[in-house]
Structure 1
């Protein structure tokens, strides 16, 4: 992902804050074979918050849209319920404090 004004393949600078050019690039990173490989490598056996072993997701601590990566230090295993709750709080914080 580009940052600091670096140009993309199309010669445009992606907009932080989920602009139209950035969102498709992020979604592409979160689907497909490469994401499945990352998910399989980093997904733990239970939710880091509640300990539930069912319906697990891999959560980005720092969202991709705000500069996060798929590196292990930025990934956390959560059940679907905790992931939904955490995503809501993360988006609220991000919009209020990081993307202005």
Structure 2
């Protein structure tokens, strides 16, 4: 299933909107996002780093951890009424301008 960012934001909003509590405060969202990024970092370290999992630790896929980060990030954007597509476009415009000569470009195939 390929969802646009608008579809992701709508799906998350439909889920969150069914609960009286609604979206968390921005500070709570930031803490939750940091927590999820930490869990992703831990999983990356288990898969690619030198720290193997304990026998008692459940197996989690990187895809699941990235999905958790996306969910919280989407919730955060929704809570602040930020369009993720617009935010991404702003960021890419900045990166494509600022960093256009920062890295060694691949040779074009002829």
TM-score (normalizing by structure 1): 0.27
Instruction: Identify, as 1 or 2, the structure richer in strand.
Output: 1
Higher relative contact order (CA 8 A, sep 6+): 2
Instruction: Identify, as 1 or 2, the structure richer in helix.
Output: 2
Greater CA radius of gyration, 1 or 2? 2
TM-score (normalizing by structure 2): 0.25
